Amino acid sequence: MSAVALLGLAGVYVLALDYTPVEARQGLAQKIFYLHVPAAWCALLAFSLVGIASALYLWLHDARLDRFAASSAEVGVAFGAVMLTTGPIWAKPIWGTWWTWDARLTLTLFLFFLFVGYLALRAAVHDPGERARFSAVVGILGLLLVPFIHLSVYLFRTLHPQPIVLKPSAPSLPPEMLRTLLVSTLVFTVLYVGLVSVRYGLALVEEAAEESDNGV
């Protein structure tokens, strides 16, 4: 499935680069948008699913939920990395600065830290039951942290008006751009599902190997 998604990604590339018009004010770099936004969406999706799976795990104690949460977290890190690299690369030519503490970037940065903390904790705990429980707690707490980060950034922004910057996303997108964006988002989501399935499969295989090791 991932191979299909990767082919889809190649298709997106063609679309983004050839089909959509070059945005007059921002030039070619604006097209990074077609990668950055879907990646951000996938990272957010991955994270929300980790949180939901964590909550369900603490309620139902189904190991599959824990395995899924771990897989989603790892894949989320990958998408988060894409977003955190394409973001500044996009920002530099458009806004003139590599970084800005706006809501989206700040939130993703925090998601990234939370993912990393989650995975670090999993790596540091050996007992599978304990690992599942601890990660689930972090997953839920993390999910609930997100609205507070959002609120903090919002309060900060309304009190500290931003300097006048070039607004990168026009409120109304021409249809070609919108279509490309949607296709790209779809492809990225398929890629997310594919990567999570592969990672989940890996988790199953690793667990089976560990059990047979212990059985010997």
Partner 1 sequence: MGSDVPQNGGYLIAAYVIAPVILVGYLVSLWRRLSAVGRRR
Partner 2 sequence: MPESLRLALAIAEKDIRAELRSRTALLSAVVFAALVLVVFNFARDPTVLPAIDLAPSVLWVTFALAAIVALNRAFNVEREHGALDGLLLAPVPRGALFGGKLLANLAFVGTVEAVTLPLFVLFFNVDLGSALPGIVGVTVLATVGFVSVGTIFSAMAVRTRFAELMLPVLLLPFMVPPLVGAVQVTSRLLAGRPLSEMLGWLRLLALYDVVFVTLCTMAFAAVVDE
Binding footprint of partner 2 on the chain (CB under 8 A)? 58, 110, 113-114, 116-117, 120-121, 124-125, 129-130, 133-134, 136-138, 140-142, 144-145, 148-149, 151-152, 155-156, 159
Residue with tokens 């980790």: 50
Angle between helical axes of 63-95 and 33-60 (0-180°, round to 10)? 160
Options 15, 44, 114, 191; binder of partner 1; rule CB under 8 A: 191
Q: Which is nearer to partner 2, 61 or 167 (CB)?
A: 61
Which of partner 2, partner 1, none has residue 170 at its interface (CB below 5 to 8 Å by kind)? none
Residue 169 contacts partner 1 per CB under 8 A:
no
- CA-based nearest residue to 43, from 167, 185, 178: 185
- Shortest approach of partner 1 to residue 169 CB, angstroms? 16
Q: How far apart are CA 116 and CA 50, in angstroms?
A: 13
112 near partner 1 (CB under 8 A): no
- What is the spatial distance between Cα 39 and Cα 51, in angstroms, rounded to a whole number? 18
195 binds, among partner 2, partner 1, none (CB under 5 to 8 A by kind): partner 1
Under rule CB under 8 A, residue 27 binds partner 1: yes
Residue 99 zone, left/alpha/beta (φ > 0; ψ -120 to 50; rest): beta
What the block records as the tokens of 163 is: 């300097």
Instruction: Identify whether the C-beta of residue 180 lies closer than 8 Å to the C-beta of residue 34.
Output: yes
Q: Residue 34 Cβ, how far from partner 2 at the closest point, in Å?
A: 29
Burial class (CB in 10 A: 0-12, 13-18, 19+), 195: buried
What residues line the site for partner 1 (CB under 8 A)?
A: 2, 6, 9, 13, 17, 22, 24-29, 31-32, 35-36, 39, 75, 78-79, 81-82, 85-86, 89-90, 92-93, 191, 195, 198-199, 201-202, 205-206, 209, 212
